[in-house]
Amino acid sequence: MQTKAVEDYLKAIYELQAEGGKVSTTSLSERLSVAPASVTGMAKKLAKMKLVVHEPYQGVELTPAGEKIALEVIRHHRLVESYLAEALGVPWDKVHEEADQWEHVLSEEMEDLMDDKLGYPTSDPHGAPIPARDGTMPKADLRRLSELEAGETAVIAEVSDHDAELLRYLGELGIFPHVEVRVISSAPFEGPVTIRINGDEHALGREVAGYILVGSLR
């Protein structure tokens, strides 16, 4: 049986896998804010359900069945974020927490109605891709803003929604998806990245710049 906890774990594993390879119990513990022992216990449970492959001390990896569930939860989450932002006018820094609750209870009928009402969006308010109805995830060739060199120009594609306060701050600077950004300078030794956006210059910490994904100009 799929419980909220199972869905939360599968979603977290998918997101961590997207950042690179197998997922350790330590990274899952940090992402979900639960004790490592609890992560190990759930990993064994998910393995019995054939939703992950779990090797002690080697981490976990989603099976096709586990990935299917994870993508469905992510689709629900990002559609809800889009609906809250576009249909109800909820600010982009407040939709994530609300969507965390809706993603587990959204029916297929409501999912389809939201999708139709929004005009079948392909990304959420933060620029994250919305998995298609058939369970496939669009791919894009993106880089972190922190990786760009001085003089490079790109378009903001996605901003991490992990921190509402950070979203409010970036929003105040005009840093949203589809906005053009130019790197003025990139200081060495993990120094700040200075950017120009909408005619204004701002210095972003290296960590903050790492939460912003950009794509090439078309």
The answer to whether residue 100 scores a pLDDT higher than 70 is yes
165 inside domain: yes
125 inside domain: no
Q: What is the pLDDT of residue 1?
A: 56
192 inside domain: yes
157 inside domain: yes
The answer to whether residue 143 scores a pLDDT higher than 60 is yes
117 inside domain: no
Structurally, how many domains does the chain consist of? Answer: 2
178 inside domain: yes
The answer to whether residue 19 scores a pLDDT higher than 90 is no
Query: Stretch 162-177: mean pLDDT, rounded?
Result: 95
Token pair 């990274």 is found at: 27
CATH of the domain at 34: 1.10.10.10
39 inside domain: yes
CATH of the domain at 153: 2.30.30.90
Q: What is the pLDDT of residues 43-64, one digit of tens each?
A: 999 999 999 999 887 889 999 9
pTM: 0.90
Amino acid occupying residue 138: P
* Domain span including residue 53: 4-62
